[in-house]
């Protein structure tokens, strides 16, 4: 007697199809997880880079807008770990006001804390200029001729240096003072 033709799938065919489907779905999930993780790392990296560039730009603005004093007081004082000067700072209303700026290098020499360079403004606002793994220091440009002459300190004076150099590990941020060309 001939066998009756069957319609449908055997149990083994269904199990093989389910196994293949699960394998494809697991591979797709791994691929998507990798893409999402890569996107998150890229976003985090770009956020850090953007914050670093914004702080460098803000610091350059503070330094370029240095305000000369009205009286006989010193316009600028600088040491390797601290600089003090007045600047014209942007306000929330869009105009500029005179503000006191102190740039400090802190955490120097500690084995557990990296050095950081922070600008403190008179309205108690602060701007992190950078963090160093090994060292940070401030330098002052006395003359740009013949490759430049940088000093480790700037005595209290009505005449500010031509620029401030913020050396963080092996990188240097140079901020020109005023509208000098």
> Contact, 178 vs 163, CB < 8 A?
no
**Total domain count, the chain:** 1
Tens digit of each residue's pLDDT, the chain (181 residues): 556 666 777 888 888 899 999 999 998 888 888 877 777 676 666 655 565 667 888 888 888 888 877 665 667 889 998 898 888 887 778 888 888 888 888 875 544 456 778 887 776 678 888 888 778 889 999 988 888 899 999 988 778 899 999 998 888 889 898 765 4
Asked if residue 6 belongs to a domain, the reply is no
In the numeric block, which tokens belong to residue 82? 């601290």
Give pTM, 2 decimals: 0.65
Q: What is the biggest distance separating any 2 CA atoms in the chain, rounded to whole angstroms?
A: 120
Asked if residue 78 belongs to a domain, the reply is yes
Counting Cα atoms < 13 Å in the Cβ hemisphere of 5 gives: 1
Q: Count other Cβ atoms within 10 Å, centred on residue 169.
A: 14
Kind of pairing between the strands at 82-90 and 96-106: antiparallel
The domain of 73 spans: 11-181
Asked if residue 1 belongs to a domain, the reply is no
CA distances from residue 168 to 31, 46, 56, 81 in whole angstroms, order as listed: 39, 20, 12, 12
Asked if residue 77 belongs to a domain, the reply is yes
């Amino acid at each position: 007697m001939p066998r009756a033709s069957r319609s449908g799938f055997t149990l083994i065919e269904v199990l093989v199809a389910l196994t293949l489907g699960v394998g494809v779905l697991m591979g797709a999930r791994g691929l998507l997880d990798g893409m999402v993780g890569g996107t998150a790392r890229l976003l985090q990296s770009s956020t850090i880079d953007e914050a670093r560039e914004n702080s460098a730009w803000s610091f350059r603005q503070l330094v370029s807008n240095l305000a000369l004093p009205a009286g006989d007081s010193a316009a600028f004082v600088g040491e390797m770990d601290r600089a003090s000067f007045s600047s014209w700072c942007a306000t929330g209303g869009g105009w500029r006001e005179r503000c006191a700026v102190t740039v400090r290098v802190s955490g120097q020499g500690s084995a557990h804390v990296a050095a950081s360079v922070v600008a403190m403004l008179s309205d108690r606002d602060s701007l992190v200029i950078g963090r160093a793994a090994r060292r940070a220091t401030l330098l002052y440009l006395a003359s740009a001729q013949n490759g430049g002459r940088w000093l480790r300190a700037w005595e209290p004076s009505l005449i500010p240096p031509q620029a401030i150099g913020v050396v963080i590990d092996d990188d240097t941020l140079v901020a020109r003072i005023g509208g000098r060309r």
